[in-house]
């Protein structure tokens, strides 16, 4: 049996051979589709509700499905239609936009620390100074002085 170096990490720490092979396979799939994933993240972070709906004269209208782009359709998380006595109520919810903006910023390196920021201290020294004590005023009783 061959000797393993002392600083090597056992493969069981990663979940075994099969789990490790699946992880490697997933990472190659992600690597092959990196451009598609980046485009999808950008589409989700730049989509707007006006891509799906429009306001005219104080009324809200849902656009025809033929007029909605594929990117806008993919940005829709849920559509809920509730019948009411005044007509159908439509609720359209888009995917969480701040989450995708943060993900896109992190992937592009915008959120990474700059080299010049690394040298600056993360804790700033603060010296707290309390109010200075005023000298106590001497109270003179005029009645006692007159006596």
3-state SS of 26-91? HHHHHHHCHHHHHHHHHHHHHCCHHHCEEEECCEEEECCHHHCCHHHHHCEEEEEEEEECCEEEEE
- Which helix H or strand E contains 16, and what residues bound it? helix 16-32
Contact 91, 80 (CB under 8 A): yes
Q: How many alpha carbons lie under 13 Å from residue 137 in its C-beta half-sphere?
A: 3
Q: What is the pLDDT of residues 74-117, one digit of tens each?
A: 999 999 999 999 888 899 999 988 888 888 888 777 777 555 55
CA distance 65 to 75: 14
Whether pLDDT at 4 is above 70 = no
Domain parsing of the chain, residue ranges: 11-112
The pLDDT-based confidence of 144 (bands split at 50, 70, 90) is: low
Please name the residues in contact with 14: beta carbons below 8 A apart, sequence gap of 6 or more: 20, 23
Tell me which DSSP letter residue 3 carries: P
Residue 134 or residue 64, greater confidence: 64
pLDDT tens profile 14-57: 566 677 667 777 777 777 778 888 888 888 888 999 999 998 99
Full-prediction pTM beyond 0.85? no
| Dist. CA 136–CA 142, nearest whole Å | 18
Residue 62 has pLDDT above 70, yes or no: yes
Tokens 């005219």: give the residue. Answer: 56
């Amino acid at each position: 049996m061959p000797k393993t170096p002392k600083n090597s990490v056992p493969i069981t720490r990663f979940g075994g051979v099969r789990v490790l092979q699946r992880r490697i396979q997933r990472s190659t799939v992600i690597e092959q589709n990196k451009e598609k994933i980046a485009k999808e993240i950008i589409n989700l972070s730049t989509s707007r509700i006006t891509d799906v709906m429009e306001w005219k004269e104080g009324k809200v209208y849902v656009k025809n499905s033929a007029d909605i782009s594929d990117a806008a359709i993919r940005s829709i998380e849920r559509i809920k239609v509730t019948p009411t006595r005044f007509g159908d109520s439509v609720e359209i919810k888009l995917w969480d936009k701040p989450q995708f903006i943060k993900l896109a910023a992190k992937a592009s390196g915008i959120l990474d620390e700059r080299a010049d920021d690394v040298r600056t201290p993360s804790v700033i020294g603060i010296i707290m100074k309390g109010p200075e004590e005023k000298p106590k005023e001497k109270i003179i009783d005029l009645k006692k002085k007159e006596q």
